Structure 1
């Protein structure tokens, strides 16, 4: 499956189509715009909850200890310790949700795809999609799979109709879906297939089939391929004891056999979503149908009148292997909306957007960051453009503060039209998650796109959402109040000087969206979920006075880059320290940046020896400022990273050479000689900022 984060590397090519305000305008247009704006200004929309108090304390009159629990205002039973799990008594599973959508839509369009750029979308309606899922599920049983939650089915494909058909087919027989994706790597994919005892993997194409065959997991017996594969791949699979069958052939066999369906119950496992956010092998997050239904229903409850409906069209772009996209799509299916898949090539995404004209779009900060950068680049060369842009932003931001979100003002027509048309022209709702979003970028996007943009915080272990911003709150740089399916409390992190009594601490989540544990890993499960059922996220948060949550730190030394990839700095440091030129190294990244940098203390003897051989004079301090020395060390570190199998996003893009070692005496090491990361970050703050300025 082409992973979202790999797609983001080519996102610039897409954004060239949608960036920047319109061309130069006559100054007389400014007066006309102002007059039109004042005459056509709409009435504001009232927020669904008071913006100065967006969450409430559970048992407010008798809060238990310093760990005061905050709950949602969107579910009246939340204050009594209850969690939202579903909307309808007859719709508690994803199996039932899809069928509700078929009725709500009156068998309307369900999934859409294109045969290529420039071609129209082709649509399958709900009944056709359900029939294909029924047949494919029956076909899986005919190929030897037993119905029930003990049977796991793998899927390794980018977003496509067959992904959704496979998901629903698995649910027809209470089986469990296990997504695989590119950034896991072949070793991790092999580990997952073996750990979950997966015998059948639905595989997109020849390339992905061969990646799985490279490691030849012992439990793997069949690859169901969506696209044609080479004869050599059939032979290679046969040599490894693996059969390759076509997706359509499984459907045909299933239609002939027509095995009866065995639908799942709410408490049944629906997926094991593996996350590679920590060192070692990936961990399998076990999620039930109740977990996923609770998550998507809670987000819809918090969106109020802006929630998805049967007239909506969602563009499927973020990978379905991750729970953000999966929850968004299943929410649209449950209400009878339509989902159109992007063509798979990021270069043609703009064409997909114009052809589909989506109304709902799940996004990640990287996309909005690039959109913002393109706009800034467009106005940088013209004083007139910059003036008009700033006037438009001021007018639209003023409307945001009064609760007005629209795209039909004259400023939209004159300045923001190109951006809006580049996104299809009909966008009304965007859900942003996976990494933090800078406040100025979020405000720009809200003004330029003229649609409701909500930002959430979550984890795979919480089925994606934990908090979500509310309609009408224009203030950026927080992630909103708790969603109705969970409660949140903060607990002390004394070693980092965060205390719950001061409104700061590790974020702990309890609710109907919290996972059941890590698959076949009770030890890690106990480390994460305590005896009272609270999931300890490892993120550090702060309650703001209005009852919203702000993410301020990470308890463990793991962080996300802007494209959503996890970075484990100690792992990378342990690889780079192998370089003969490196004595100490500190790897650093920011969640608003897409790459990492490092502070390096060179090995004085090795560097001086190299300098002497190359007739470069100077002390270590002088050599640290020499571009040749820097390039030598950087190239050697990157070479070590490649040899160790680091992904591109794990490789440093710049270094700063520092002549003095980190030590206990200068406060940069602990007495046990471990790096004091907050202190090193603070000490080298100017150098870290300078490196990112250069890389921008």
Structure 2
């Protein structure tokens, strides 16, 4: 395992020339291997694999200089503005040069704030020959951000919005970190440059002048693709958060391998960006994928602007997490039901599944009104980040979209499996088809053949930052990363997830129950918004032992059924009947025996996953 932490280091010219030759040769060997792959699921071939992120950008600029890399609204009431690949490269050269002039070579540099061109430019500038980028979760509180600043040894933080600028000013002034610079995108002039409070815009212009005057120290700065490039702190309480270390080889290969299973039209397509960029799913699978393919990243202004922004930007690909697709599905199906056309549409879908096999799609005219909500040009939707009901993705497929799900973890850069978008090979009951060059094995199998999923391949992380003990626990001596996810892999190399190792319920008779499986059945009900299944087998009162489901109802669906003046008793009785329906699909030892209706939101991580270990989440 490579543990070199010296990104941006000085390397003698001849030595660097040989490093680049070896890197290029390795990528060419991988390219040839993929080009000769005979597996019909691996059906797309991109252009040459770049050796690093700097090469990624420079190569694409050479092919698509005037293509828009970003579409963004810089003010709410303005139209989307385009930033071309050529402009991005010029700006990255300028900003990177300015960072080096501040003395940030080989330093850790944080970036925080909303999705924006400025966030992405900062990421590319730092990884292009300055130091290590540390994307920061904008949902964290000041104390948590301070702990990460200290733990990650950040020398500078770029803040995209003023509220984060004030937060990091306070962190710097506390004197408890080694933070030297707080650089704010949201101000035009420096506040106090001698104290390290600097305008991002003014700093970039300083770098631009230096480049114009012939300064090439950043343009020619060495980048070694096996050096540490990105640290991603996992969500959770920061005293146990882990800094996932990724190098540029991890990232460029993950970007390349993803598009071997899914069509991306180079120089043509537009991706719609909803998810936060500090999560590596969005960063790799939307942002870096766009940079690699010469495609456009249309940046959504926020969740409440999704429909408006999609209609304005007319994207071709949309990445999301289950909650986004579940909400869209519920709204679409509810409106169809209200229109009285549900039975007619479902009949059409059944017929269309047959006719599509011979290349005839008869549903387009009937679904046009729905698909126009997404801009009218949407071709592919990809779901990741957590398990999703395959029936929901199949419904989007019935609407006329290629609808697939994938599987990944931050520690794997992140995507490791993806359903091919070819209709013959889509299997949305699985989490995805294993990437080329990747290996999967199942250890500690139970009587059903399920066990812990272990992964090995070129996208697996370098380790956890300054945490050799946890690294050794996660990656064994043979290079297998132990995910903590439970599941199995079938003979065709599709991966199936059944639950998390840490969340297993062991019943009184010694049987293993995966709460995620039970939650999957509960979520089939449109009247259940969220649920958390948990077990209590130690209660002193035997009647209180068993499997519990704490449930939040879908108030909109409940109101549609009972009216706005529904009673608590009505809801309780009705939800218990919905749980009974789920129980009908389960063997006796898995049946839910206690139901709790919860009014409040569940306490969640910043990635909006319910905290299972939070005792408060169990109760009403």
Q: Same fold (TM over 0.5)?
A: yes
Match of 1:428 among 379, 385, 395: 379
Give 2:119's aligned residue.
163
Alpha-carbon RMSD across the aligned residues, in angstroms, is 4.0
Give 2:93's aligned residue.
134
Give me the whole-angstrom Cα distance separating, in 2, the residues matched to 1:75 and 1:517. Answer: 30
Match of 2:144 among 150, 166, 188: 188
Counterparts in 2 of 1:38-117, with a 5 A limit? 88=48, 91-117=50-76
CA distances 1:515-572 after superposition (whole Å, capped 9, x unpaired):
000000000000000000010111112223543221112212399xxxxxxxxxxxxx
Give 2:433's aligned residue.
481
Give me the whole-angstrom Cα distance separating, in 1, the residues matched to 2:471 and 2:397. Answer: 39
Cα drift, residue 323 of structure 1: 1.3
TM-score scaled by structure 1? 0.65
Cα drift, residue 85 of structure 1: 13
Give 1:531's aligned residue.
477
Cα drift, residue 162 of structure 1: 0.3
* Pair 1:469-2:419 in alignment: yes
* Pair 1:120-2:71 in alignment: no
Match of 1:225 among 172, 184, 192: 184
The alignment partner of 1:282 has SS state of coil
Give 2:290's aligned residue.
332
CA distances 1:270-328 after superposition (whole Å, capped 9, x unpaired):
2111112578431111001100111111111122xx23411011122211111111112
TM-score scaled by structure 2? 0.72
Match of 1:509 among 443, 455, 472: 455
Cα–Cα, structure 1 residues 596 and 293, in superposed 2: closer, same or farther, change >3 Å?
same
Give me the whole-angstrom Cα distance separating, in 1, the residues matched to 2:535 and 2:485. Answer: 24
Give 2:303's aligned residue.
346
* Pair 1:252-2:252 in alignment: no
Cα–Cα, structure 1 residues 78 and 530, in superposed 2: closer, same or farther, change >3 Å?
farther
Structure ID, larger Rg: 1
The alignment partner of 1:508 has SS state of strand
Give me the whole-angstrom Cα distance separating, in 1, the residues matched to 2:430 and 2:539. Answer: 42
Give 2:164's aligned residue.
208
Give me the whole-angstrom Cα distance separating, in 2, the residues matched to 1:242 and 1:365. Answer: 45
- RCO comparison, higher one (Cα < 8 Å, 6+): 1
Cα–Cα, structure 1 residues 169 and 74, in superposed 2: closer, same or farther, change >3 Å?
closer
Is the CA contact 1:110–1:126 (under 8 Å) kept in the aligned structure 2?
A: yes
Is the CA contact 1:155–1:179 (under 8 Å) kept in the aligned structure 2?
A: yes
Give 1:642's aligned residue.
none
Give 1:21's aligned residue.
none
Counterparts in 2 of 1:344-493, with a 5 A limit? 345-383=302-340, 385-399=341-355, 402=357, 404=359, 409=362, 411-414=363-366, 416-448=367-399, 450-470=400-420, 471-472=422-423, 473-493=425-445
Cα drift, residue 435 of structure 1: 0.8
Give me the whole-angstrom Cα distance separating, in 1, the residues matched to 2:144 and 2:296. Answer: 34
CA distances 1:353-381 after superposition (whole Å, capped 9, x unpaired):
11111112211111111111112211333
Across the two proteins, how many residue pairs are aligned to each other?
504
Counterparts in 2 of 1:553-632, with a 5 A limit? 553-557=499-503, 590=519, 594=530, 596=532
Counterparts in 2 of 1:643-658, with a 5 A limit? none
Please list every run of 5 or more consecutive structure 1 residues that lacks an aligned counterpart in the other structure. Answer: 1-72, 560-585, 605-618, 623-629, 635-653, 657-678
Cα–Cα, structure 1 residues 177 and 126, in superposed 2: closer, same or farther, change >3 Å?
same
Counterparts in 2 of 1:633-652, with a 5 A limit? none
Is the CA contact 2:264–2:293 (under 8 Å) kept in the aligned structure 1?
A: no
The alignment partner of 2:434 has SS state of coil
Is the CA contact 2:46–2:260 (under 8 Å) kept in the aligned structure 1?
A: no
Give me the whole-angstrom Cα distance separating, in 2, the residues matched to 1:548 and 1:587. Answer: 22
Give me the whole-angstrom Cα distance separating, in 1, the residues matched to 2:210 and 2:101. Answer: 7
Is the CA contact 2:54–2:124 (under 8 Å) kept in the aligned structure 1?
A: yes
Cα–Cα, structure 1 residues 549 and 602, in superposed 2: closer, same or farther, change >3 Å?
closer
Cα–Cα, structure 1 residues 265 and 390, in superposed 2: closer, same or farther, change >3 Å?
same
Cα–Cα, structure 1 residues 620 and 322, in superposed 2: closer, same or farther, change >3 Å?
closer
